[in-house]
Structure 1
């Protein structure tokens, strides 16, 4: 019985060592092939799981400007991670309502940090469903500031004046579609 256990342990050790060998990509790179390209969490392809907040935004024709801003600000990988996140997602029309030239200025390379700060102002850590929004509540954003909730007499919820017009659950949080871009003071 001891000999069988030793043999199984030896075979298992070989299997583990074989799994630690070089991958095809590593072999190609060392043999003069193309360099290894590292991608973040957003580069992982998974068509089986429920979509995350970024995948939902990408699939929405009403959020193409937001998706472009996330890419320019290098914020896609952060929102693709496990979370959980609550994301206030402005529509394309909300971005169009910004003063002329604002979006063009923010998407310049030299303004990447400022754009990211604005996008982080649209993110809460944790999942906040519609029933969690109470009139007058201040909620901390990912950039360290806070937004204020207003609930009107009709039960409509506003975040810093931006109306929540839809809600979509994601695998790593929840998205509240809003009709305004939230700009921190």
Structure 2
């Protein structure tokens, strides 16, 4: 019963903040506005080498307020799958926190942890477990205009109702035609 009460309480509680959906699927295939933040092995602490790429990310996001960024923490296989994913997530959060500290709104950032099994970039990089990739996504186009509402179809023309009374015989115009002689 307590579980049900807790569930109902959670259902009726409004969300703290609505964050716009940011889709990072395929972000690593983009080539423009992709920045790599280096990390020391086994660490989620941002070093001095991160200053330049972080500044470039802030500049790209400040240039167009409609753009958003994917902050993708990468991890190799050091320490096992759980440990490496945790490290990748910590790195991504550290970069997002640094960007927020530099003035980027958190609702413009999406953090994700990536592992070597699912990230071709991690498999190709040397060393794979020492980066966070920040991809500033292209600006979304303008909102499409709503489709015009079609005008209502004209009502069919009214046809007269059939009359139940017989039609009257046509009135004679003039005298009947003369009869022919035999």
- Do Structure 1 and Structure 2 share a fold, with TM-score over 0.5? no
In terms of fraction of residues, the more helix-rich structure is 1
Q: TM-score, normalised by structure 1?
A: 0.22
- The structure with the largest alpha-carbon Rg is 2
Question: Comparing both chains, which one has the higher relative contact order based on Cα–Cα distances under 8 Å and sequence gaps of 6 or more?
Answer: 2
Higher strand share: 1
